[in-house]
A and B are shown apart, each in its own frame.
Chain A
Amino acid sequence: MGGFFKSSIGRKVAMALSAFFLMVFLLQHFAINLLSVFNPDAFNEVSHFMGTNPMVQFALQPVLIFGVVFHFIMGFVLEIKNKKAQGVAYVKNNGAANSSWMSRNMIWSGAAILAFIVLHFIDFWIPEINTKYIQGDWSGTLDGVEGFRYYEELTHKFVSPIRVGAYVLAFVFLALHLLHGFTSAFQSVGATAGRKQTLQNIGKAYSIIIPLGFIFIALYHHFNH
């Protein structure tokens, strides 16, 4: 089995498996965020649970970080290998004639998403880590805020139109990335032709609805606070 992941196909399968994991994570992240629109209290409850549960913090979080890092590093490694495989570039190449823009530019949509994740870490994750692990404050409360602090912090972040703009843009890239990535991941693990059409439909729905939902949440908080 070790040899398998060294092969070109094995690497693609690994890429697909990490993608599946990230897509599931994205779905749950979206579900929690959506709560902030409909029910800020519930959002706070769930956020506190996720932020303090040892299972989530010490098992799932490292896996997630590993998944993200793996997916990015592998993506860049494959890109470099593929560039090398190509050798001399064409003087004229009409890629649009046979493939989608999304499929040909996964590395760029991926890079944009990476940039966003950096921003996202600075915005949320690093302060969280700072509060909990460096300052040792696991209460989930903030002075002057009634109940948990999470909802307040969330809405606060979406005041700046520049940040909201960056978020919107990032999610557009995420949609583009998913539009190819979703079905591509299934193809990589050998999904059969019979299921192709269904997968494509689900893929399209997922790739558009989820990023659009995130954008909606960001805009909702921006205009309501």
Chain B
Amino acid sequence: MNLTLRIWRQKDSNTKGQMVDYKVTEISEHMSFLEMMDVLNEQLIAKGEEPVAFDHDCREGICGMCSMYINGEAHGPDRGVTTCQLHMRMFKDGDTITIEPFRAAAFPVIKDLVVDRTSFDRIQHAGGYISVNTSGNTQDANALPISKHAADEAMDAATCIGCGACVATCKNSSAMLFVGAKVSQYALLPQGQVEAADRVKNMVAQMDLEGFGNCTNTGACEIECPKGISLENIARMNRELMKASVS
């Protein structure tokens, strides 16, 4: 199929960007979206133009590196996938596809479609861990039974890949799904209890400091999350913070 791509081009963080139109031809419906972008880039290189910079790495939907806001949706129109697993069969011959970087004040553009998501890392630094040293003599893994239900729920929260689609999609650029998922993973496990109160306070404080917006419960993040992280994690974080603040 033949497509028109309307892509955000921006030289670097200090330069103003703009949308530029490109044409690509003979795109197979079996291609992944990023393979289509590869075709465009090879085309641009052949013409002596600068290829479009975009983040990507594992191309199997788990590393969370790829981003892109495609036709008004984070990771494009398909559900439960990242951009690297979005396939061209979701589009039609002759379509114009609008491709923008993830937008949020806390995710400044580095170049073209590449954004800086280190604000997520800094939130994790604030408390996204359990304080245990590597010693080789922590207690036996089975010394502390954990109900299957809690373990499974913690796992569901832990599947977050930190891609930032929740922020990109949120009209308020709120990071609460991301932070809620991490807070929940540890809050659900007994190992995480000791530091639970400090963790949620510190992580939320850092989240606010980074300039993410407030959650208004539109639920868009849950729908666009490639890993289906549940809104329940935000509710749990709210409870955890209230609990931490009164105690």
Contacts and interface: CB of A to CB of B under 8 A. Distances in A.
A86 interface: yes
Interface in A1-18: 1, 3-4, 7-13
B19 A99 contact: no
Contacts of B185: none
Interface of A: 1, 3-4, 7-13, 78, 81-82, 84-95, 97-100, 103-104, 106, 180, 183-184, 187-193, 196
B232 interface: yes
Contacts of B176: 8-9
A82 B224 contact: no
A180 B216 CA distance: 9
B219 A90 contact: no
A87 B201 CA distance: 25
A81 B214 CA distance: 8
Given A7-B208, A82-B213, A92-B72, A103 B219 contact: yes
Contacts of A193: 230, 232, 235
B164 to A, nearest CB: 13
Given A86-B103, A89-B103, A99-B171, 17 more contacts: A1-B246, A7-B204, A8-B208, A8-B213, A9-B204, A12-B215, A12-B216, A78-B216, A81-B213, A81-B214, A92-B72, A95-B171, A190-B235, A190-B236, A191-B235, A193-B232, A193-B235
Contact of A97 (B73, B173, B213): B73
Interface of B: 6, 8, 19, 69, 71-73, 77, 98, 100, 103-106, 108-109, 169, 171-174, 176, 201, 204-205, 207-208, 211-220, 223-224, 230-232, 234-239, 241-242, 245-246
A189 B238 contact: yes
B219 to A, nearest CB: 6
A87 B104 contact: yes
B104 A94 contact: no
A98 B169 CA distance: 9
Main secondary structure of the interface of B (DSSP, over half): mixed
Contacts of A85: 104-106, 172-174, 211-214
Contacts of A8: 174, 176, 204, 207-208, 212-215
B75 to A, nearest CB: 11
A94 B245 contact: no
A130 to B, nearest CB: 38
Contacts of A92: 71-72, 98, 100
B217 A188 contact: yes
12 contacts: A9-B176, A9-B241, A10-B245, A12-B216, A12-B238, A81-B213, A82-B173, A85-B214, A86-B213, A87-B173, A189-B242, A193-B230
A130 B80 CA distance: 60
Contacts of A99: 171, 218-220, 223
Contacts of A188: 215, 217, 238
Contacts of B216: 12, 78, 82, 103, 106, 184
Among A11, A81, A97, A196: residue with most chain B CB under 10 A: A97
A187 B214 contact: no
A189 B103 CA distance: 28
B73 A94 contact: yes
A180 B214 contact: no
B81 to A, nearest CB: 14
B103 A9 contact: no
B219 A86 contact: no
B217 A1 contact: no
Nearest to B102: A90
Among A4, A94, A95, A190: residue with most chain B CB under 10 A: A190
Given A86-B171, A93-B72, A13 B220 contact: no
Nearest to A86: B173
Nearest to A11: B214
Contacts of B204: 7-9
